[in-house]
Amino acid sequence: MELAVESLETPALTKAQLAEMLFDQIGLNKRESKDMIDAFFDLITDSLVEGGDVKISGFGNFQIRTKAARPGRNPRTGEPVAIEARRVVTFHASPKLKDAVQASGGAPEPSGG
């Protein structure tokens, strides 16, 4: 089943909009739609917090990466600051998603000059 996204007014897709699509296109009631979206994102969050990868076939992979502590610089003052070690989430799009994005022709045209 394909979900239509063209009715979005903002460039961001919100959880509320996803729940509304489930309500409109699949027929779940609004409470079930909201609960399903919340449960989906809770599962992804819990897995990442525990250090696991999340692989969504045909979409991409979310992974936890540990960044080492390193020296940095305050961009306003130029003063050296220590950047602490931290964990970050990275996303790598699947080849299928990359192909779909390329096929859509949504890439901005380079400006000639």
pLDDT, tens only, 77-89: 999 999 999 999 9
Q: Where are the alpha helices (DSSP H) in 64-112?
A: 95-104
Q: Which CATH class is domain 52-104?
A: few secondary structures
What digits encode the pLDDT tens for the residues 18-75?
999 999 998 889 999 999 999 999 999 999 999 999 999 999 999 999 999 999 999 9
Q: Delimit the domains of the chain by residue range.
A: 13-50, 52-104
Fold of 13-50: HU Protein; Chain A (4.10.520)
H or E segment to which residue 16 belongs: helix 15-21
- Least reliable range by pLDDT among 3-7, 72-76, 103-107: 3-7
pLDDT at site 52: 94
- How far apart CA 89 and CA 62 sit, in angstroms, is 7
